[in-house]
Amino acid sequence: MGSTIYYFSATGNSLTIARQIAKRLGDCKVISMASQPTGEPVGGPGESIGFVFPVFYIGLPRLVRYFAQKLNITEGTYCFAFISFGGYGADTLGMLDDILKEKGAHLSFADGVKMPGNYIVKYQAFAPDVVQKLIKAAMDKADEAAEAVSNGKLRPVKRNGRLLGKIANRRYLYKGIAEWDEKFKVGRCTGCGLCAKVCPVNNIKMEDRRPLWLHHCERCLACIQWCPCEAIEYGQKTIGRRRYHNPNVSAEDIIKGNARVI
């Protein structure tokens, strides 16, 4: 049975999970959701399609929502999802399941795991020893998920905090999106352009060797977390806070995904 995993990853957590599941499944393609679906049918009987992504504001990242809505899934496809979250997954998997059901599909297997959080606007990165423990536990759980998927096991979505998730996701992720990135500030920038390259939605362009945000931010904060000289801040909130990106993933890995390289 061939498999395809679609992932969204800004700082590497979900990419690490996607790779681990794919390695255990074998015969599995790993494709970034930064690419756009072609409209061609995907999946089918004997095929499986997976979605691996982080929780944003106890719900679906906008990029994941739009990607899933556009994906043309063949009836009879075994679909699975594995989310990563820093705090609470709420009804994130249920939100995705609702989208798939509109297409005549559904999540046959749904699970998730806590990973090191990266929302530096609210908190700094975890200490290195905590990061390693969380990643190790997540890889073990990813292995368990891969075994379940390879055996076609069923683990339906458990709906939790449905109303809370819907309200929080809409209010904090969608509201004011055009103005949200106006608070990004740039200090000792070297003009390397890495922030623009790691942005999954092409929301940054370099102008006079300095980044300029274009007001359709995904709020993933890849730009802050990957900046090699920590030149980017979000207002005053992130000053002095420890940065984070998954130690098993490089900036080049993120860039390749954004560039539609499979």
% pLDDT > 70, the chain: 98
Considering the four listed CATH numbers 3.40.50.2300, 3.40.50.1370, 3.40.50.360, 3.50.50.60, the one that applies to the domain covering 3-166 is 3.40.50.360
Pairing of strands 3-7, 28-32: parallel
> And the tokens for 228?
């090699």
3-state SS assignment for residue 41: coil
Map tokens 């989208």 to a residue. 99
Centre a 10 Å sphere on the Cβ of residue 24 and count the other Cβ atoms it contains.
16
- Which pair of structure tokens corresponds to residue 179? 């103005």
Q: Mean pLDDT lowest for which of 17-21, 142-146, 163-167, 236-240?
A: 163-167
Give the separation between CA 142 and CA 127, rounded to whole angstroms: 22
Query: pTM surpassing 0.75?
Result: yes
Please compute the mean of the pLDDT values over residues 139-148 and round it to a whole number: 96
pLDDT mean over 29-50: 90
SS3 80: strand
Confidence of residue 37 (pLDDT cuts 50, 70, 90): confident
Assess whether the region 3-166 and the region 180-235+250-258 belong to the same CATH fold: no
Helix and strand totals (H; E) in the chain: 9, 9
Nearest CA to 195 out of 205, 187, 185 is that of 205
Task: Please give the helix or strand (H or E) that residue 150 lies within, else none.
Answer: helix 128-150
Can you read off the two tokens belonging to residue 146? 């891969």
Q: State how far the Cα of 135 lies from the Cα of 116, in Å rounded to an integer.
A: 8
Question: How confident is residue 1, by pLDDT bands cut at 50, 70 and 90?
Answer: low
- Both structure tokens of 97: 């399941």
CA angle 195, 14, 37 (to 5 degrees): 80
Q: Where are the domains of the chain?
A: 3-166, 180-235+250-258
Q: How confident is the model at residue 49 (pLDDT cuts 50, 70, 90)?
A: very high
CA gap 182, 122 in Å, rounded = 17
- Neighbour tally for 181: CB within 10 Å: 19
Instruction: Give 86's strand partners.
Output: none
Mean pLDDT score across all residues of the chain: 93
User: What is the fold of 180-235+250-258?
Assistant: Alpha-Beta Plaits (3.30.70)
